[in-house]
A and B are shown apart, each in its own frame.
Chain A
């Protein structure tokens, strides 16, 4: 072995020295490979763990917090759901179709490992500018990969977001969130009892995905990134579907005592984590593992990231039942090891110990890093730059341009490629503020939304992250749901750079402050560093996955206008200067500068309570969050969704008209309601201290904004603009 092998595997000299002192000897190649994946940034969270501990994690209904496969929340008595988001950014850049597909597969197994049936998927996607040379290739590949995998495993993809922004040109973001319903009991990744057997089931183990966690996910990409294609796994959704069914049957029949999926780090990860959590050891016999190809080296078998595999722990008496369940689902399953009391992960080849490492050292003794932080020097100039609030002579043209822009145009071309209806729970599907999914066997529903405002975080990571939480919560609140729990996916650049680490620290502070103020526990998530290519980092992009609770699914409110004659009202206050980082600034004035909109979390929380109350009392016909493009775009979207125009009759605002229409002040919602409900809404708003402004009424086939008009058909055509060219006929 060469002296620098550890460096090729992504370990520093200091980490190598520590490994030598833990083992009391030099590690062999298998042991070094095991450390390299388990101590990688991706698996160990060594740069972020200390900061992550500052997030609030406790709250009403939280049954399982961070640290397991997924957080578990009891949403109504007797109904618990698992909720988690993960990134698959680098694999999706290197090989978009399979990178995205296996991203879906990974999060679905995380949810399944908790004993929960996956019932909804959402995707947060970011690509470079729509006209970029590789954008169409990457976006089509990613969407196709999600479609082919998610559809085949029979889990509806019900929502998400897709953003085009130059900052993601060479480093797209593919974050996938999954919701699961706990069917019988919550399962955990444990190996409590020495003597229990360890069973590996699912796909065969091959050379695909070797070093995915360390080589791909924990380093910057460069011009030779396509050489890393063999590190991307290839998915098999048919096997995944069978793995889901077999796993849920094992849990339902209480056969197994521990379960964890194999993802980043291969079998090494669940073996060391389960043993470390339980204070036991696990011995793996490599010759028992069924392989896809012959002559794999022990280190390859240990860290292979072949997909669709699970590791179960079971008593020797009940092991045959596991094998039988897997056989009925036509899955390969083999006893590959046993739980010991040694505290070690031991790897056996031909009866000899080929590797022996303390499980705790692998799973939790990585030296945590206190990374240097530094506020970027360029930030002051950016904040002093114009915020893009210049007026424009033709506001109708502005509205059409915004509706047609890649960031605001309809994502129908994406979500129509996803089965968003299977499992008969989709009360509100893609295209609105949040998806509303009725829980199987229950009258209750959850509302789900993903939000990650990269431009705002670029201007100010603290305020941007606060706004991200507020907007995600507002999205679910608009459906009538009570925001209840957060999962997050934190996409940042290279943490070795002080300015990246500063933005990460600021964003975490923002998430923590918003979550604390709104009473939202963070139940888990994922950190994705090294999102840079050729030395340029993506915008700091914390994606917030919000889960809200609706006790009665039939009370859900959508964004679409429902009836001519309904009255329009704006809830919340408009600050005429909230343009920094917004869509009007970017699309109309090509500007990204200034400060993000100002957020008052007390007002935000009051709005959420009002929306929930109004929905429960059936006062509203529609509700829509105001975000990109402000009031004008929200009005147009509600009109287009309902096929009904509107007429604004509110008194001429004192500020310039474009400020009133396009400002992106947070804590606002557009509602429509039957005229007879207006007094009740006004009273409820007054009681909660939420300002309410009547705007006009629904009806007709024009978007009549007072000073100007746009035909509904013209707006529809603009909104249907495909980011990569003229809309296709289908």
Chain B
């Protein structure tokens, strides 16, 4: 679990992933070695204060070289919210996240539809299943050029779509994978939806699927 200065969801993600059976190690952004991790998590927050542009400084943190190598060699990477923004800036996912259509920060429960249940992150999902998850972002409107969008759709890289688009995201996109399918970026926070008392357990579908995939690969 990569921690940049300003990352703030690492404790939540660690707690939930540990509860789901994963061993979690927090990795400060200056590290250059992933300590043999099977999954790299880029949790939400405000890496480097979101100064300049979300994720723009984080992509230069030393740890990102190791994350890139891990991703290029097929290792699982999930970027949640700010982590998604960092993955786009680092070129591990195509496109960018723009300011919300309403030009204000938005924290609310939304529903997303699983569009590709064949990814390492959606194995436990049923086709067309909707998940109730929270979003929490200012820059969550996914955007890419037309040819990239065509590629995303052709390859089945659009993994999650908003049922009721909250932020002006292109084609209601809430989450995408890279072409190989081993890197997922999503704006909703699955770690916040893993307990009925907090409003939903649907986040488990994504996170447990990811752990399943890592176990199968190991």
Contacts and interface: CB of A to CB of B under 8 A. Distances in A.
Interface of A: 144, 147-148, 151-154, 236-238, 241-242, 328-330, 415-424, 426-427, 438, 553-554, 728-730
A417 B105 contact: yes
A238 B197 contact: no
18 contacts: A144-B104, A151-B46, A151-B136, A154-B45, A238-B49, A241-B46, A329-B5, A415-B107, A417-B105, A417-B106, A419-B105, A421-B189, A423-B11, A424-B195, A424-B198, A729-B102, A730-B100, A730-B101
A153 B195 contact: no
Q: Which 5 A-B pairs have the closest CB atoms?
A: A154-B8, A730-B102, A238-B49, A152-B46, A417-B105
Interface string B3-24: 0011011011001100000000
B198 A427 contact: yes
Contact of B12 (A148, A424, A728): A424
B108 interface: yes
Contact of A416 (B106, B191, B197): B106
A151 B49 contact: no
A423 B51 CA distance: 23
B142 to A, nearest CB: 16
Nearest to A441: B15
Contact of A423 (B12, B195, B197): B12
Contacts of B136: 151, 419, 421-422
B212 interface: no
Given A238-B49, A330-B5, A421-B107, A427 B192 contact: no
Contacts of B198: 421, 424, 426-427
A128 B182 CA distance: 53
Given A241-B8, A422-B9, 6 more contacts: A147-B104, A151-B105, A152-B8, A423-B11, A553-B197, A730-B104
Contacts of A427: 197-198
B52 to A, nearest CB: 12
Nearest to B106: A416
Interface in B33-56: 45-46, 48-51
Interface in B174-218: 189, 191-192, 195, 197-198
B192 A421 contact: yes
A664 B191 CA distance: 42
Nearest to A151: B105
Contact of A422 (B5, B12, B51): B12
Contacts of A238: 5-6, 46, 48-49, 51
Given A152-B49, A237-B46, A420 B5 contact: no
Contact of B107 (A418, A438, A553): A418
A459 to B, nearest CB: 36
Nearest to A426: B198
Interface of B: 5-6, 8-9, 11-12, 15-16, 28, 45-46, 48-51, 100-102, 104-108, 134, 136, 166-167, 189, 191-192, 195, 197-198
B8 A422 contact: yes
Contacts of B100: 730
A420 B108 CA distance: 9
Nearest to A117: B11
Q: Name, among B102, B104, B106, B134, the residue most crowded by chain A CB atoms within 10 Å (CB to CB).
A: B104
A307 to B, nearest CB: 14
A246 to B, nearest CB: 11
A259 to B, nearest CB: 21
Nearest to A423: B12
B165 to A, nearest CB: 9
A236 B49 contact: yes
Q: Name, among A236, A427, A730, the residue most crowded by chain B CB atoms within 10 Å (CB to CB).
A: A730
A152 B48 CA distance: 10
Q: Name, among B28, B48, B51, B198, the residue most crowded by chain A CB atoms within 10 Å (CB to CB).
A: B198
Nearest to B46: A152
A130 to B, nearest CB: 18
Given A421-B192, A421-B198, A553-B197, A241 B6 contact: yes
A241 B5 CA distance: 8
Contacts of B16: 424
A417 B106 CA distance: 5
B6 A152 contact: yes
Given A152-B50, A238-B49, A730 B197 contact: no
A674 B107 CA distance: 32
B9 A154 contact: yes
Contacts of A147: 104-105
Nearest to A553: B197
A193 B106 CA distance: 49
Contacts of B106: 416-417, 730
A384 to B, nearest CB: 45
A28 B13 CA distance: 55
Nearest to B47: A238
Contact of A417 (B48, B50, B104): B104
A154 B9 CA distance: 7
A424 B107 contact: no
A147 B134 CA distance: 17
A415 B108 CA distance: 9
Nearest to A418: B107
Contacts of A153: 8
Contacts of A423: 11-12
A253 B158 CA distance: 46
A238 B4 CA distance: 11
A238 B104 CA distance: 20
A231 B100 CA distance: 33
Nearest to B108: A416
A438 B189 CA distance: 19
A437 to B, nearest CB: 11
A553 B45 CA distance: 27
Contacts of A421: 107, 134, 136, 189, 192, 198
A422 to B, nearest CB: 6
B20 to A, nearest CB: 14
Nearest to A147: B105
A629 B3 CA distance: 48
A330 B47 CA distance: 13
Q: Name, among A238, A423, A424, the residue most crowded by chain B CB atoms within 10 Å (CB to CB).
A: A424
Nearest to A430: B107
Nearest to A152: B46
Nearest to A153: B8
A420 B49 contact: no
A431 to B, nearest CB: 11
B107 A420 contact: yes
A333 B9 CA distance: 26
B46 A416 contact: no
Nearest to B101: A730
Nearest to A424: B12
Nearest to B192: A421
B87 to A, nearest CB: 20
A438 B49 contact: no
Nearest to B28: A328
Nearest to B189: A421
A9 B171 CA distance: 60
Contacts of B105: 147-148, 151, 416-419
